[in-house]
Structure 1
C-alpha cells in the first residue's frame, strides 16, 4: 500500500498558470501528506545547490527528465511500492534541467514521457501519477481512466 505521507516533491519555480495550479490542488486533496517545496528559478547550478540543501537525510531521490527511462503507470506504482519503507523525494527541475550534482545522487531517474513538458506541467503529471499509483495499489478503478 502506498503511504503518501512518505512522499514530497521539490520543484523549481512557481506555478503561474491557474489551470495547472487547479489541477495540482485537486490531486493534493486526494493525496494526504504529499508536500511540495518550491526552489527559486535561476540556473541549474544554483538550483542544484538549493535542491541538495533541501533533501533530507535518508530520502530516496527520484529525478525526472525526458532523457531517462520511461515507465508504465503499473511499473511506477510497483517501484513506489517496492520502496514503501523509505521516504521518497521527487525532483522536478526547471526549464534548463537538473544539475549534474543532483543527477549523481539520484537513486531513480525516470521519464514521464519522451516528450518535453514545461516544468509546471511535469509537476501536475507527476502528482497525477502518484495518485494513479495509489489507486493501482489499492485496486480501485481510477487507474483504468
Structure 2
C-alpha cells in the first residue's frame, strides 16, 4: 500500500497540543501522506472546499458515524483492494468540522467510513485516522506494530 496515494482533507486546525503531538508522531511515520487543512465554515462551504481540493483521480472517502465500521485488519484489506483496482485509485479521506459533513457531500462519496459509532471531535478523528492508516500500513507490510 502506498500512502503517497492517500490524502486527508481535514476541516479546521488542531488546537490542543497533545493532539498536535500525536498527529505529528504519525505524520513522521507516514512520509508521503499529505494532510490538507481547510477553513472552518458552514457544512455547505466546507463541502465546497473539499470538492475544490479533490484531485480528478481521487475517490472521496468521508468519515461519518453512519459509515462502514471496520476492524483494523479489514480496513487494511479494504485499502489494499481500493488501491489495487485500476482507474481512479487515489483516496482522499474527508473529515468535517464540528458540525459534520454536509449530507450532499456524504452522498457523493465512493465510500463512507466510521472510526467508531461514537461521535468524535474532528481533531480526535484526525489522530485516530492517522493511527489507523499507520496500523494498516504495518499490517500490509507484516510489521510488528499490530498485535491483533
Using the alignment, how far apart are the partners of 1:117 and 1:21 within structure 2?
16
The equivalences for 1:5-84 within 5 A come to: 5-84=4-83
Task: Count matched residues.
Answer: 144
Q: Distance in 1 between matches of 2:64 and 2:147?
A: 25
Choose the corresponding residue for 1:106, options 109, 125, 128.
109
Distance 1:4 1:67 in 2: 25
State the Cα RMSD in Å.
Answer: 1.0
2:132 to 105, 124, 129: 129
Q: Deviations over 1:30-85 (max 9, x none)?
A: 11100111111111011111111111102011110112121000111001000124
Structure 2 gaps of 5+ residues are: none
**Separation in structure 1 between the aligned mates of residue 103 and residue 114 of structure 2, nearest angstrom:** 17
Under a length normalisation based on structure 1, what TM-score does the superposition of the two structures give?
0.96
Q: TM-score, normalised by structure 2?
A: 0.94
- The offset of 1:101, in angstroms, is 2.8
Match of 1:88 in 2: 91
Deviations 1:97-131 (A, max 9, x none): 11123212211101000111110000000000000
User: Any runs of at least 4 consecutive aligned residues in structure 1 with deviations exceeding 6 A, and if so which?
Assistant: none
